Structure 1
Amino acid sequence: MASGRGGLQPRKQPRQVRAELTRQRILAAAAHVFAEYGYAAGTTNRIAERAQISIGSLYQYYPNKDAILVELATRHLDAGMAAIACPQDEGPPRPLEEAIRGYVHLSIENHLDDPQLLRVMAEQAPRSPELLEKMSRYQQSRTAYVRELIENHPESRVDDMHTAARLVVSTVELTVHQLAAAPDPLAPARLENELVAMITRYLTGGPQGVEP
């Protein structure tokens, strides 16, 4: 998938405001181009034209479109991790359904900006070692977050907390990724309500997911 200008790391780390603004313009332009044209047709020429800079200026910042897509994917993962980084409130636990709703809502919110771009990032972003490491840490942080929500909660009926947390994270991530970018996407509120109902029933319904 590389364009012939090797590497996935940005060429220039901006140290001045003007350079940082140029980098942001490139990333914003790339997000629009990838969402509109897809990855194969989302060329660096189109990105440079959309950013209103020369192709030579673009290559001063990024060696190829792979590096741009990797940075967009990295920023998306960083935003997702930051959204759940706030410490939970002390005191009596919230109702489990409310706690799960908060998590599902954050996940959906993080996918609303441009679902078509997210599909490109999920399916076509080059898997550099750095990106794979970040994806692993992203999954670990989300699993730890959900486990903290359900562990020792009086309404929880699952026996294996770690497996349950991983199932919840995978279910939410895969479902939101698929349905948010579908040709006929579900309304966010409807998607949230149904995911919350499904997950809450699983967590509160006993070891086999049914009422004893």
Structure 2
Amino acid sequence: MTSEQRRIQPRKQPRQIRAELTRQRILTAAAHIFAEYGYAAGTTNRIAERARVSIGSLYQYYPNKDAILAELLTRHLDGDRATETLRAHKDRPDPLEDIIRVFVHTVIENHLDDPALLRIMLEQAPRSSELIERITQQEWEMIGDLRELLDRHPEARVNDKDTAARLVAYTVELTVHSLVAAPNSIDVTRLENELVAMITSYLRTER
């Protein structure tokens, strides 16, 4: 493990229910503090006060606020159901637009809990090599499932399916990341409809 990885690793893995509840309180408090004050002003003292634990107790679990933010990002990735949903629908005999809609809707749902916190995680969360590898693996799994969908679905007429699968994956993920996490709110229903229309039209066109 590198020094960078050690810097953002949790110090203590709870083995008892009480310890796990304490860690959950710290993470919940941190999510609120980062969203309310921003990352720079979201100090460990503020997090400990919001979590109603001593600063010493907080440091038993996390060495610094970078480690807390990295843990929040990891949990965000754990809760991402986009690839799982796509895998469950890609072999169904549904219209292409319906499958793309389920996929886009799931990606949007994954990012609605706290847009302010999401923006901080995207822009400021420290990324260890392990975390980068995890993100890359999830991206390639999504691309692989999209590629299989395009191979088998009769409505998918785009010729270069490898490139198309990558374009769809990154277009949906990056667009949703950027717009849902933006300071100005966006109508998520309109966002979903426009993304589905754009992607479905592209995939149905032979080129």
- Verify same fold: TM over 0.5: yes
Structure 1 runs of 4+ aligned residues shifted over 4 Å read 89-92
2:144 and 2:50 map into 1 onto residues whose CA distance is 40
Instruction: Indicate the residue corresponding to 1:84 in structure 2.
Output: 83
2:89 and 2:127 map into 1 onto residues whose CA distance is 36
1:177-188 equivalent positions in 2, closer than 5 A: 177-188=177-188
Aligned residue identity for 1:85 = E
CA contact 2:10–2:67 (8 Å) conserved in 1: yes
Q: Judging by fraction of residues, say which structure has more helix.
A: 2
Shift of 1:112: 0.3
Runs (5+) with no aligned partner, structure 1: 1-5, 208-212
Shift of 1:91: 6.7
1:1-212 equivalent positions in 2, closer than 5 A: 7-80=7-80, 82-85=81-84, 87-88=87-88, 93-207=93-207
Instruction: Give SS of 2:9's match.
Output: coil
2:25 and 2:151 map into 1 onto residues whose CA distance is 43
Runs (5+) with no aligned partner, structure 2: 1-5
In structure 2, relative to structure 1, the CA distance for the partners of 1:157 and 1:83 (3 Å cut) is closer
Number of equivalent positions: 201
CA contact 1:44–1:55 (8 Å) conserved in 2: yes
Aligned residue identity for 1:63 = P
Shift of 1:88: 2.2
Shift of 1:83: 4.7
Shift of 1:160: 2.1
CA contact 1:158–1:203 (8 Å) conserved in 2: yes
1:41 and 1:13 map into 2 onto residues whose CA distance is 27
- Give the TM-score of the pair, scaled to structure 1: 0.89
CA contact 2:116–2:183 (8 Å) conserved in 1: no
- Give the TM-score of the pair, scaled to structure 2: 0.92
1:56 and 1:23 map into 2 onto residues whose CA distance is 13
**168-177 vs 89-98, which moves further:** 89-98
Q: CA RMSD in A?
A: 1.6
